[in-house]
A = this chain, B = another copy of it.
């Protein structure tokens, strides 16, 4: 499959543009028995710098899964625009009130009605290691290296 390598700055910018407007990623994690599970996660529309942040409940199956195996995949897909992005990375749980305040968005009230006061509120930080995208109908994969 044809693949193009690009330089880091270009890559990071293009990647940011691609996921802009796709608000929800499917985050896949590995369960203890090796099964793969995914769930929709709300992504922040902010400048991409190599990390992606998500809000989570501290006690939830995905946190257990991520603590057991850090590997995650984030799939961004927008069929209406024929745009598909796969992000491979490693994920860690972060308890940081300051960071949470910075990232907070009222949309998140749907999942965290108590907002920033919720004692269960925590963050997941994904360090992006590889990204691939398909952004035209019938396109071939383009690989973003060096992230």
Q: Which of A's residues lie within 8 Å of B, judged by CB?
A: 1, 22-24, 26, 28, 30, 34-40, 60, 69, 71-73, 75, 77-80, 84, 86, 88, 110-111, 129-130, 132, 134, 137-138, 141
Contacts and interface: CB of A to CB of B under 8 A. Distances in A.
Interface class of chain A by DSSP: strand
B35 A134 contact: no
A78 B79 contact: yes
Contacts of A37: 73, 86, 88, 130, 132
A136 to B, nearest CB: 11
A97 to B, nearest CB: 24
B79 A36 contact: no
B141 A39 contact: yes
Nearest to A79: B24
Contacts of A129: 35
